[in-house]
Structure 1
Amino acid sequence: MRLVHWIGAALAAVVTCVAVVQVARSASGGPPVPASCPQRWGGEGIGGWVPAAADIDGADESLVPGSPVRALICAYPGDNTHPGGERLAGTRTLADQAGAMARDLGYLPVTDTPRGGPCTLMGGPMTNYLIRFAYPDGRALWVGSAQEVNSCVTTTNGTVGSRSYVGPGITAAYRTGVWKPTRSDDPCSGSAGRRGQDERMVPEGAVSVVVCGQISYPERPPRREYGEQVARELATALNSLGTRPSDNMCQRGEGTDDREFRLMFGYRDGPPADVRISAGCTPGIDNDLLQADLDDSVRDRVARLAPPP
């Protein structure tokens, strides 16, 4: 048997990027959330650190719960080959944009123990970020994240974390003062994920699905789009399978089915839910947080919906 990484053969060199979320004591039993940017990045890695965890209702379920009214972005540029201890290089305060930024970050899928995934080995510049969200009652919450060339980042509020990559959006907000999450124009590429995918393969409420075929660079992968009925039937089938926490890997035997598909479930509001199917792998279904074995019923259903090769 040979080990197959979910990111595919296009990435020849990979290394497991272990995300260690470093946090101070909770606000209820430790120091309050600082009111200004720390002068140095206190973590030892790329993202995954905040100076203090906040005692905010919902912080164990969402990166940014509630409705903050202000966001202070702190930037710590450095190099991804020697991360940790970067000096504060500048700040940006968002007022009108803070609510939208909090809402979009709050949609990201989270767990209390974010797992590492395969990362490319390219060295280069990176910027660690802290974002201080201030609430009308005077409380605050930190979010730590980063932008780096491998997109191998953990974003955390000190209680839960996400592997969804939002670095380019934070960088744009820091530079321009406008929050606009960066998403690919092609629904079959780019990173995705939706809150709730730590509990079920496809969260409730899907109204569409794009079935993407094998990626063949530089060509766009073939795809077929379906409406609400197909999306919900497919989601029900996927959610009926037994799941377990994902290690973002599978095992493939020689001579097995090498078809791979990506299912992008759309919603009326918020980001899509991303599910990957690898027909000849065990386990054959993965959404970055959960994985499941691919049974014949789901395999045949996806094959019927898939675009021609």
Structure 2
Amino acid sequence: MRPTHKIGIAMAAVATCATASVVPGMVPGAADGGARRSPSQGQSACPQRWDGGAIGGWVPAPSGLDGAADSLVPGSPVSALICAYPGNTRSGGLAGSRTLTGQATAMAHDLGYLPVGTEGGEIPCTLMAGPATNYLVRFAYPDGRGLWLGSAEEVNSCVTTTNGTALSHVYVGDSLTAAYRTGTWRLDQPERPCPGSLGRRGQNARMVPEGPVKVVVCRIGRHDEPARRTEYGTKQAHELAAALNSVAAGPSRNACHHLRGGSGGRFEVLFGYADGPPASVRVTTACRPSANNGLLEGHLDDSVRDRVVQLAPP
């Protein structure tokens, strides 16, 4: 299970301005048309080697930008330099780079809304062997400052994405590989039985970030059954968000301790916002803790649990 890999609302890319510098054969599928060499020196250059001790978890230097502790990519950068380091090890040589200009704002918008923390949490991972590619992305800002982001594509999808201050366990490796190869940014939307979310900034601090304008409540059936869903407006969204936020919550361990004699259902509660991705809370009434947003978990009392069940489709 990928507890933080949920379906998000991606900002559609509307421009495809990109340049690439690629070492042929190192990253299959990477474009080489219009290539130029990456600069070998200077703050804006790709480091010649990935030098991290963990998959995805390294940047050359943390950013001093305001907001970097609360968002992976704060503000409005004007370009994004993607540096690729393929291989099965956590360190490796530079294979090539691609610079996105027209789509840097959309990329920053999507990545900047991902839920973040300042410490690593417990997430279950599979242990399959397979190819991996580490990435460094340098976002450049109009005033000349920059922000490095480290992430990776790897077969287990258990990757830390970090700007050196904040980190996220939401997996974006496939999206980074596609942007590197094609010059087009699009945040991947993993398939789910009910519309879910990659998560939303602020969910490390509260179960549901403030300001939802609607809520969808899904009842999750067996694997061979489609999820059923009902949608409500702002009033119900605010009331249900307040109820879920009233629950004592702590860091998520993404575990379920089945209650003796417990029965009930599984629900996905999806809060929509005027801008950015939705925030999702998974409710499993036969588990303790019964509510989990991927970063926080807590056990619902009877009144909150019953409210979720009442709003769900039969």
Equivalence for 1:205: 211
Q: 2:45 aligns with which of 33, 36, 40?
A: 36
After TM superposition, give the deviation of residue 185 of structure 1 in Å.
6.5
* Letter aligned with residue 182 of structure 1: D
Q: Deviations over 1:269-292 (max 9, x none)?
A: 111101111112222111121111
Residue 123 to residue 167, structure 1, CA distance change in 2 (3 Å)? same
Equivalent residues of 2:216, 2:271 under 8 A apart: yes
CA RMSD of aligned residues (A): 2.2
Equivalent residues of 2:197, 2:278 under 8 A apart: no
Tell me the distance in 2 between the aligned counterparts of 1:43 and 1:206: 38
Equivalence for 1:16: none
Q: Deviations over 1:32-67 (max 9, x none)?
A: x83211222111322121111121111111111111
Residue 76 to residue 215, structure 1, CA distance change in 2 (3 Å)? farther
Tell me the distance in 2 between the aligned counterparts of 1:247 and 1:185: 23
Equivalence for 1:245: 251
Whether 1:60 and 2:69 are equivalent positions in the alignment is: yes
Counterpart mapping for 1:226-245 below 5 A: 226-245=232-251
Partner of 1:288, secondary structure, is coil
Whether 1:225 and 2:234 are equivalent positions in the alignment is: no
User: Structure 1: which 5+ runs fail to align?
Assistant: 8-32
Q: 1:297 aligns with which of 290, 303, 306?
A: 303
After TM superposition, give the deviation of residue 191 of structure 1 in Å.
5.1
Equivalence for 1:71: 80
Equivalent residues of 1:184, 1:190 under 8 A apart: no
Equivalent residues of 1:64, 1:105 under 8 A apart: yes
Q: 1:50 aligns with which of 32, 56, 59?
A: 59
Equivalent residues of 1:165, 1:191 under 8 A apart: no
User: Structure 2: which 5+ runs fail to align?
Assistant: 4-41
After TM superposition, give the deviation of residue 242 of structure 1 in Å.
1.7
Equivalence for 2:275: 269
Residue 150 to residue 202, structure 1, CA distance change in 2 (3 Å)? same
Equivalence for 1:132: 138
Q: TM-score, normalised by structure 1?
A: 0.83
Equivalent residues of 2:197, 2:279 under 8 A apart: no
Q: 2:172 aligns with which of 162, 166, 173?
A: 166
After TM superposition, give the deviation of residue 107 of structure 1 in Å.
0.6
Equivalent residues of 1:187, 1:264 under 8 A apart: no
Equivalence for 1:18: none
Q: 2:148 aligns with which of 142, 146, 150?
A: 142
After TM superposition, give the deviation of residue 217 of structure 1 in Å.
2.8
Equivalence for 2:102: 96
Q: How many residues align?
A: 277
* Letter aligned with residue 153 of structure 1: V
After TM superposition, give the deviation of residue 307 of structure 1 in Å.
2.5
* Letter aligned with residue 55 of structure 1: G
Tell me the distance in 2 between the aligned counterparts of 1:268 and 1:165: 24
Tell me the distance in 1 between the aligned counterparts of 2:269 and 2:129: 31
Partner of 1:249, secondary structure, is coil
* Letter aligned with residue 112 of structure 2: G
Partner of 1:144, secondary structure, is strand
Partner of 2:305, secondary structure, is helix
Q: 2:121 aligns with which of 110, 115, 125?
A: 115
Equivalent residues of 1:121, 1:150 under 8 A apart: yes
Residue 177 to residue 266, structure 1, CA distance change in 2 (3 Å)? same
* Letter aligned with residue 96 of structure 1: G
After TM superposition, give the deviation of residue 214 of structure 1 in Å.
2.4
Identity rate of aligned residues, in percent? 60
Q: Return 54-63 or 183-192, whichever deviates more.
A: 183-192
* Letter aligned with residue 73 of structure 1: I
